[in-house]
Amino acid sequence: MQRPRVVVVGSANMDLVVMTPVLPAPGETVFGSEFHQVAGGKGANQAIAASRAGAEAVLLGAIGSDSLGVTLKARIAASGVDVSRLRVVYGASGVALVTVDAAGENTIVVTPGANAALTGLTADELTAVRDAEVLVAQLEIPVQTVTEAALAARDAGTRVVLNATPARRLPAELLAAVDLLVCSVPEARAVLDGAGRPAPDGLPAELLAGLLGVVPRVVLTLGPQGAWYADRELPEPVHVAPVRVEVVDSTAAGDAFTAALAVAWGEGRDLVDAVRWASAAAAGCSRRMGASVALPERTEIEQLYAAGWPQPPGSPSDLLSPGTMET
Ligand code: RIB
């Protein structure tokens, strides 16, 4: 099978990760058990995840001129990602402070650093977008840059997958260029809010119906409850149950999910099956600590997918070790 070419436009951060039994409350001090410095950032994670899942992956992003930037670039390149267009910007690299509790839940604070300077895509960067089968973007870089990339992709027939995280209101011209939106419930609400459509309080089906008024295809991720896929051609949304694994750290599980989804779609899978494959990738990522270092290789995704699918409609996949996963 031909490897799809996936271009990711997005952030690169150095993650400073502390494992702690319980996340501290505001004003509280707690002891952590481990500290790790791991390459991360939603853009870098998704590029690495796409490469490991089987794509020819290119990262359009920016690192700082500090030592963290040097380390970041080396680690991203080591995963097979084309970093030849990664910009080096004078100043600090993006940094994320990540705390992870015993249940694998996390909190993340990001200082964008160089990521904020990723503006005005060059002709060469836009050519990379046009030459790809799929463009993948998230929202840790300026939204104007995401919009530029998405418009170039749309004009060239490159599919646009937007992972609308972290939650932000988005301009109409960006949403008009999106082929597939991937978001959680709060992110969905922010999208609907920004589109001037009241976000319904209730069920995923209502949120999905609202989102289909804005984009043609949506994946709504619900963490341990799995994900919903909806598009304008389907009579009703399809629920995809999660692949159950023992969760160590859910950091970057959403990145593994989005990247695997893009790769599977680029390979020609139908999107419901692609969501299943992406769920297997997210589950694989959740079994390990850290962001980029936890992203699964294709063989692991295939193993989890084979164990988890097909399954009787409506039943969770509990063929693997018990626990839950987050996407
Ligand atoms: O999605 C996980 C990522 O979010 C982390 O790697 C951190 O850098 C933040 O960007």
Nearest atom of ligand 1 to the alpha carbon of 291: 6
Strand bridging mode 5-9 / 134-137: parallel
Mean pLDDT over residues 266-287, rounded? Answer: 96
**Residue at 325 is within a domain:** no
The CA 311 to ligand 1 mean position distance, Å, reads 31
Mean pLDDT over residues 84-109, rounded? Answer: 95
pLDDT score at 309? 67
**Residue at 296 is within a domain:** yes
Q: Map tokens 């699918």 to a residue.
A: 309
User: What CATH number corresponds to the domain at position 274?
Assistant: 3.40.1190.20
Is position 255 annotated as part of the catalytic site? yes
- Cβ 42 under 6 angstroms from ligand 1: yes
Q: Which of 15, 82, 255, 273 is catalytic?
A: 255
Which segment of 34-43, 156-165, 308-317 scores lowest on mean pLDDT? 308-317
Judged against a pLDDT cut of 80, whether residue 323 lies above it is answered with: no
- Report the mean per-residue pLDDT for the chain: 92
- Cβ 93 under 6 angstroms from ligand 1: no
Q: Exposed (0-12), middle (13-18) or buried (19+): which is 246, by Cβ within 10 Å?
A: middle
Judged against a pLDDT cut of 90, whether residue 87 lies above it is answered with: yes
Nearest atom of ligand 1 to the alpha carbon of 251: 2
**Residue at 322 is within a domain:** no
Mean pLDDT over residues 209-232, rounded? Answer: 95
Residue percentage of the chain with pLDDT more than 90: 86
Judged against a pLDDT cut of 50, whether residue 193 lies above it is answered with: yes
- Cβ 45 under 6 angstroms from ligand 1: yes
Nearest C-alpha to atom 8 of ligand 1 is from which residue?
Answer: 41
259 neighbors 49 (Cβ within 8 angstroms): yes
**DSSP state string for 120-181:** S--HHHHHHHHT-SEEEE-SSS-HHHHHHHHHHHHHHT-EEEEE--S-----HHHHTT-SEE
Mean pLDDT over residues 216-232, rounded? Answer: 95
> What's the structural domain count of the chain?
1
The CA 48 to ligand 1 mean position distance, Å, reads 13
Report the alpha-carbon distance of residue 260 to residue 178 in Å, rounded: 17
Q: Count the residues in the chain.
A: 327
**Residue at 326 is within a domain:** no
Judged against a pLDDT cut of 80, whether residue 314 lies above it is answered with: no
**Residue at 327 is within a domain:** no
- Cβ 51 under 6 angstroms from ligand 1: no
Judged against a pLDDT cut of 80, whether residue 292 lies above it is answered with: yes
Judged against a pLDDT cut of 60, whether residue 325 lies above it is answered with: no
Mean pLDDT over residues 6-27, rounded? Answer: 95
Q: Map tokens 């100043």 to a residue.
A: 91
Question: What domain range is 214 assigned to?
Answer: 5-316
Nearest atom of ligand 1 to the alpha carbon of 11: 10
Nearest atom of ligand 1 to the alpha carbon of 96: 8
The CA 215 to ligand 1 mean position distance, Å, reads 25
**Residue at 279 is within a domain:** yes
